[in-house]
Structure 1
Amino acid sequence: MASFQNINIETQIPEEILIAQIMQLHESISKLESLRPCKQVNSLFTRLVKLCTLPSSIDIEALPQEVKEMRDSLINLSGHAEGLLEFEFSTFISLTPEPFKNVTLFPYYGNYVKLAHMENKILKENGMVNAKKVAFVGSGPMPLTSIIMATHHMESTHFDNFDIDEKANEVARKIVASDAALEKRMKFVTQDIMEVRERLGQYDCIFLAALVGMNREAKVKILGHIRKYMKEGGILLVRSAKGSRAFLYPILEEPDMVNFEVLTIFHPTNDVINSVVLLRKPKA
């Protein structure tokens, strides 16, 4: 079988090779006893990410059923591994003398910088400037988007980070608490977003993390709930994926965005994995 390292990055990888190699990696990942960060886990997921960011014109909807099932499993495994990696690093960073200064130690910090820059540019191009209050749903133990946005792009905005895991919020709080100015405008809320109602009406802009709603049905439900309670004219930024990147994250399609005004859909072609879908709740 051709090794993907030998495939020219500029030419598209043939679909059958891509699927065969992803299935092979899925098999290896499924057999791991633990998904905690270690040499083997890191190596497998690094290979997977490289494969999924190669140019490809794969149509996820047209895949055979067994490949679709493998993809669902892979998204869950990747999400779980990502959570463990974030936890390990955030716990380690929270124990350093100046945690906030050490967030750059996170292995994918550079990717978050690129993603935040891209999202901020898209928000500005669509009229979202000087937001007073922003919510980030699914912030996790390593709330890098909020931290980078708050310190580089939205320097006076107040951020509320929502996560269902109190342990995740606990370590995230410790990191942010080491910067007095940031701590004043960044809060962490432990709550399932489906139970947050009137409060959603306070935000100018709401970010929905890629792994909130691990499949399409769950995501559509969450979108409907947020839409119901968010303010009219408010912006919702949803992370999605396209093509082979959809083996790592759930996809959001146009029919899923009912009763929203679709402002823009952006698919990156660099090493940033997530697509950005920008929606607005229309004024009545």
Structure 2
Amino acid sequence: MVSLQTSHFVSQISADLLIAEVSKLYASISKLESLRPSKEVNSLFTHLVKLCTLPLVIDITSLPKEVQAMRESLINLCGRAEGLLELEFSTFLTKVPQPLNNLILFPYYGNYVKLANMEYKILHQNGVVSPKKVAFVGSGPMPLTSFIMATYHMKSTHFDNFDIDEKANELAGQIVASDGELEKRMKFETRNITDVKEKLGEYDCVFLAALVGMNKEEKVKILEHIRKYMKEGGILLVRSAKGARAFLYPVVEEHDLVGFDVLSIVHPTNDVINSVVLVRKPIF
């Protein structure tokens, strides 16, 4: 494993070395009997995240085919592991009093706070201050972005959270039910976003989670669907990844966003993993 302590070494690490180390971790992760949270699973994914957030310029599109295939498979494994971690933690939260007060116990809570702060700042800079209605697509069993936004940034906004997993929505709904005020402003729907049509026209702003649309074709199809049905002048916030972070999450590029006006693209350099692409549906 690459030593992450030596700043000199970090600055010298090459793309080839990074790919070799990621490939080793992929080999270990793909052999796991289960991706449920455990000491081994947590250790492997922690190493992977640290490796992929090193300050390194790497062009994912220029990688050899076998590395591209490994990357796609790794993103799927990351997505499944993330889902199982959230599922276990949300199940735990439904059994404790005042679950919303215990969100901080989630291992990546601080990361979500930083991401939400960054996203709200970008929205605010582009005139989205207090939207009446927001949709979050791919909210999962731990819809932390919606919780953080609704509690700290958008205190009067109504949030509709869409996920294809009924169990995830059920658990998220139980967590929100512990707070009467928040429950009034937050709903959960078990639907594939490509089946949601006219309702998409109700939202001032739509968030698209990074793991909705795991491959390029699927992602572009979802983006086209949202653009078709969202309101003119509506804002879409798309999570993406850049450089080595693209071994963890799918990449959305400007040419994937046909028919939108690009307002802002932000690539974090701290421990926040996701890039943010903010676009607007033109007013015709």
TM-score w.r.t. structure 1 length? 0.98
AA matched with 1:5: L
Gapped regions of structure 2 (runs ≥ 5):
none
Q: Does 1:242 align with 2:242?
A: yes
State the 4+ residue runs in structure 1 displaced beyond 3 angstroms: none
AA matched with 1:4: S
- Aligned partner of 2:3 in structure 1 is 4
Q: Distance in 2 between matches of 1:190 and 1:216?
A: 23
Q: Does 1:166 align with 2:166?
A: yes
Three-state SS of the structure 1 residue aligned to 2:188 is strand
Q: Distance in 2 between matches of 1:7 and 1:77?
A: 29
Post-superposition offset of 1:130: 1.4
Question: For residues 178-230 of structure 1, what are the alpha-carbon distances to aligned partners after superposition, in whole Å with 9 as ceiling and x for unaligned?
Answer: 01110010000110000000000000000000000001111100000000000
Gapped regions of structure 1 (runs ≥ 5):
none
Q: Distance in 2 between matches of 1:53 and 1:3?
A: 13
AA matched with 1:8: S
Q: How many residues align?
A: 283
Q: Distance in 2 between matches of 1:16 and 1:167?
A: 41
AA matched with 2:251: I
- Aligned partner of 1:118 in structure 2 is 118
Q: Distance in 1 between matches of 2:225 and 2:59?
A: 29
Q: Does 1:61 align with 2:64?
A: no
Q: Distance in 1 between matches of 2:147 and 2:246?
A: 26
- Aligned partner of 2:213 in structure 1 is 213
| Percent sequence identity over aligned pairs | 71
Pairs within 5 Å for 1:1-150 = 3-8=2-7, 11-150=11-150
Post-superposition offset of 1:125: 0.2
AA matched with 1:274: N
Q: Distance in 1 between matches of 2:57 and 2:88?
A: 35
Q: Distance in 1 between matches of 2:31 and 2:201?
A: 45
Three-state SS of the structure 2 residue aligned to 1:262 is strand
CA separation of 1:4 and 1:62: change in aligned 2, threshold 3 A: farther
- Aligned partner of 1:157 in structure 2 is 157
Question: For residues 93-147 of structure 1, what are the alpha-carbon distances to aligned partners after superposition, in whole Å with 9 as ceiling and x for unaligned?
Answer: 1110111211111110000000000000000001111100000000000000000
Q: Distance in 2 between matches of 1:167 and 1:37?
A: 18
Three-state SS of the structure 2 residue aligned to 1:89 is helix
AA matched with 1:248: L
AA matched with 1:272: V
Q: Distance in 1 between matches of 2:222 and 2:267?
A: 22
CA contact (8 A) 1:12 1:54 kept: no
AA matched with 2:165: D
Q: Distance in 2 between matches of 1:249 and 1:12?
A: 24
Post-superposition offset of 1:12: 4.9
CA separation of 1:14 and 1:233: change in aligned 2, threshold 3 A: same
CA contact (8 A) 1:12 1:57 kept: no
Post-superposition offset of 1:35: 0.2
Three-state SS of the structure 2 residue aligned to 1:169 is helix
Q: Distance in 2 between matches of 1:161 and 1:12?
A: 43
